[in-house]
């Protein structure tokens, strides 16, 4: 184990030998249900990377609950359940969604008495109509494209143990689903996944990460992420060909080569810029950095010392 700034630099081989809960491996069906489009995951990854992480998060949760009890005793107030919130950040197409769904499944399986919820910050993007009115539709995913006040109020409501509602985003229509809401009420653990969850505040006094008890950044070389983005784009086109309601339907009817050229332009003009300017600079704010290589395999972990 090496040390790097304020992180312990841990190889996959070292990490896999750390303590972990004994739990039956996930079935192929469960892995398929968790897997995001074009993302890869295996029992080997589950056992060698994610189970030790789930074990550690269990220790963090115990400490969190004990601290809340001690705080209530000190203040002479009635103790209440305060949700343990995990943030998962990283680039578009790096596999955040798969990591988040996997963590939700494993945490629920290893700690069956805990209610584990998952939400994505995509739901707090402004609707396309609003983005168009603001003249920033081409900056979708950039900090200014999110309703941060609404997102912060949502997280604060959850943290206070009250019923919270989050808008729902659809990648099929590439927009907020009108009238559809996700309700979350007093979970033991809430996983919040999104490219922006570790970004520093701009105009707000507080930011999303202020509510986190543990945070993860999913990392990979940009050339790999771009490859995964283009592979996912091609798969989305295939899925859209027979669905006129799909955002990519018209694009899917034309030349695939031209569509790929468009996707490459979107990556370089939008996603690359967003990654370099706003997402990557948040990496060292995470408690844990999962560094991926080929085939989405985690080959190194950086674990915060302090």
The pLDDT value recorded for residue 42 is 79
pLDDT tens readout for residues 45-63: 888 899 999 999 999 999 9
Residue 185: give its domain's CATH number.
Answer: 3.40.50.300
Is 213 part of any domain? yes
pLDDT tens readout for residues 141-192: 999 999 999 999 999 999 999 999 999 999 989 999 999 999 999 999 999 9
Give me 148's structure tokens: 């941060």
In this structure, are residues 94 and 225 in contact, taking their beta carbons and an 8 Å threshold?
A: yes
Is 111 part of any domain? yes
Is 114 part of any domain? yes
CA neighbor of 34 nearest in space, from 125, 90, 118, 141: 118
In this structure, are residues 125 and 51 in contact, taking their beta carbons and an 8 Å threshold?
A: no
Pick out the residues of the known binding site for ATP.
90-97
The pLDDT value recorded for residue 285 is 93
User: What Cα–Cα distance (Å) separates residue 257 from each residue in 89, 225, 251, 263?
Assistant: 31, 20, 11, 10
Domain total of the chain: 1
Is 265 part of any domain? no
SS3 (DSSP) at 26 = coil
In this structure, are residues 283 and 27 in contact, taking their beta carbons and an 8 Å threshold?
A: no
Cα atoms in the 13 Å half-sphere on the side-chain side of 279: 26
Is 274 part of any domain? no
Is 22 part of any domain? yes
pLDDT in tens, the chain (306 residues): 665 779 999 999 999 888 776 676 787 788 877 877 677 787 888 888 999 999 999 999 999 999 999 999 999 999 889 999 999 999 999 999 999 999 999 999 889 999 999 999 999 999 999 999 999 999 999 999 999 999 999 999 999 999 999 999 999 899 999 999 999 999 999 999 999 899 876 666 788 889 999 999 999 999 999 999 999 999 999 989 989 999 999 999 999 999 999 999 999 999 999 999 999 999 999 999 999 998 889 999 999 998
3-state secondary structure 165-229: EEEEEECCCCEEEEEEEEEECCCCEEEEECCCCCCCCCCCCCCHHHHCCEEEEEECCHHHHHHHH
Structural domain that includes position 159: 2-221+286-304
User: What Cα–Cα distance (Å) separates residue 295 from each residue in 51, 214, 225?
Assistant: 19, 26, 11
Instruction: Give the global pTM.
Output: 0.93
Pick out the residues of the known binding site.
90-97
The pLDDT value recorded for residue 128 is 96
Is 249 part of any domain? no
The pLDDT value recorded for residue 191 is 98
Is 280 part of any domain? no
The pLDDT value recorded for residue 1 is 63
């Amino acid at each position: 184990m090496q040390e790097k700034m304020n992180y312990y630099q841990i190889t996959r081989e070292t990490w896999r030998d750390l303590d972990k809960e004994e739990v039956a491996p996930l079935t192929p069906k469960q892995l398929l249900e968790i897997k995001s489009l074009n993302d890869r995951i295996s029992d080997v990854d589950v056992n060698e990377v994610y189970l030790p992480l789930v074990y550690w998060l269990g220790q963090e949760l115990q400490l969190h609950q004990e601290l809340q009890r001690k705080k209530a005793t000190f203040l002479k107030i009635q103790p209440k359940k305060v949700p343990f919130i995990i943030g998962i950040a990283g680039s578009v197409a790096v596999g955040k969604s798969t990591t988040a769904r996997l963590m939700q499944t494993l945490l629920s399986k290893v700690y069956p008495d805990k209610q584990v919820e998952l939400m994505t910050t995509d739901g707090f993007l402004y609707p396309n109509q609003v983005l168009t009115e603001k003249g920033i539709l081409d900056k979708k995913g950039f900090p200014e494209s999110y309703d941060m006040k609404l997102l912060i109020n949502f997280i604060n409501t959850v943290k206070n143990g009250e019923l919270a509602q989050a808008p729902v985003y659809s990648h099929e229509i590439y927009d907020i689903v009108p009238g559809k809401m996700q309700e979350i009420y007093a979970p033991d653990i809430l996983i919040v996944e999104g490219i922006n969850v570790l970004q520093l505040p701009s105009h707000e006094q507080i930011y999303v990460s202020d509510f986190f008890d543990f945070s993860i950044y999913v990392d990979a070389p940009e050339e790999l992420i771009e490859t995964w983005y283009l592979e996912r784009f091609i798969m989305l086109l295939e899925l859209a060909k027979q669905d006129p309601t799909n955002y990519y339907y018209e694009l899917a009817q034309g030349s695939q080569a031209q569509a790929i050229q468009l996707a490459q332009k979107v990556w370089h003009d939008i996603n690359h810029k967003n990654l370099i300017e706003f997402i990557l600079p948040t990496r060292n704010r995470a408690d844990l950095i999962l560094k991926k290589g080929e085939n989405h395999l985690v080959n190194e972990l950086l674990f915060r010392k302090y």
